[in-house]
């Protein structure tokens, strides 16, 4: 019942603020046809990622967790012609679908790198920093991915981490004991509390996907 309220509200706002986009719509359809799970960001969140890229004048964007490239397309649309987007995905199958979706959406400056993000992130050089990093892969990897993102982002660059609220389950100590995803987010929050090199805040979100949130961090 609450999801119905969130969905109606999300759709109402979107009807004013989001415009039909063939590339994005095709990406969702083509992903579903090929059996990819429906675990993308919501459209309103995709737009937020695009607006963030535009607001900070991002030229280099890094994504951890591609799936079918839906969020990748949103961010790619916020990059200039000479921008560059690297997106990391463990599944060869997902990467293939993502490349097809990106091509169809006219995003030419995105590169899908296949491998375990634990290793592919470690192989990226600190000397070529990113303006924006979006983390949305396996939640258990979040503490590690955040440390790598911090290493790879420029001063005042932005790191956004998805699914940090999880319907309030992350904040529920008893629930979190049996939830490895929740525990990983709790570890990340504890790390941030002690980290003097970043400032961060959680933006809780209620939309068509339910009740969850983005962690939004800036490297100082």
Alpha-carbon radius of gyration of the chain: 17
Q: Is 70 in the site for ligand SAM (CB under 6 A)?
A: yes
**Residue span 80-109 as binding mask against ligand SAM, x where in contact by CB under 6 A, dash where not:** --------xxxx--x---------------
The SS3 assignment for 169 reads: coil
Contact (Cβ atoms closer than 8 angstroms) between residue 196 and residue 142: no
Stretch that binds ligand SAM, among 11-19, 38-46, 169-177, 208-216 (CB under 6 A): 38-46
Q: Is 40 in the site for ligand SAM (CB under 6 A)?
A: yes
Residue with tokens 């046809």: 33
For the sheet containing 84-89, what is the strand order?
Answer: 110-114, 84-89, 60-64, 130-135, 153-162, 210-219, 198-207
Q: Is 9 in the site for ligand SAM (CB under 6 A)?
A: no
For residue 204, count CB atoms less than 10 angstroms from its CB and return exposed for 0-12, middle for 13-18, buried for 19 or more: exposed
22 versus 193: smaller Cβ distance to ligand SAM: 22
Q: Is 215 in the site for ligand SAM (CB under 6 A)?
A: no
141 versus 143: smaller Cβ distance to ligand SAM: 141
Q: Is 185 in the site for ligand SAM (CB under 6 A)?
A: no
Q: Is 136 in the site for ligand SAM (CB under 6 A)?
A: yes
């Amino acid at each position: 019942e609450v999801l119905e309220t969130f969905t109606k509200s999300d759709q109402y706002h979107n009807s004013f603020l989001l415009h039909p986009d063939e590339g994005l719509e095709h990406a969702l359809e083509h992903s579903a046809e090929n059996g990819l799970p429906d675990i993308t960001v919501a459209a309103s969140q995709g737009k937020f990622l695009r607006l963030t890229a535009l607001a900070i004048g991002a030229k280099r964007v890094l994504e951890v967790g591609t799936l079918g490239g839906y969020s990748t397309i949103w961010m790619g649309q916020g990059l200039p012609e000479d921008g560059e987007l690297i997106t990391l995905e463990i599944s060869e199958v997902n990467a293939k679908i993502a490349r097809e979706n990106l091509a169809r959406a006219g995003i030419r400056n995105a590169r899908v790198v296949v491998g375990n993000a634990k290793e592919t992130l470690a192989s990226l050089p600190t000397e070529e920093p990113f303006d924006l990093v979006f983390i949305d892969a396996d939640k258990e990897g979040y503490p590690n991915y955040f440390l790598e993102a911090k290493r790879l982002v420029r001063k005042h660059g932005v790191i956004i981490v998805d699914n940090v609220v999880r319907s309030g389950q992350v904040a529920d100590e008893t629930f979190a004991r049996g939830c490895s995803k929740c525990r990983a987010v709790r570890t990340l929050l504890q790390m941030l509390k002690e980290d003097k090199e970043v400032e961060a805040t959680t933006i809780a979100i209620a939309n068509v996907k339910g009740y969850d949130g983005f962690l939004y961090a800036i490297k100082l």
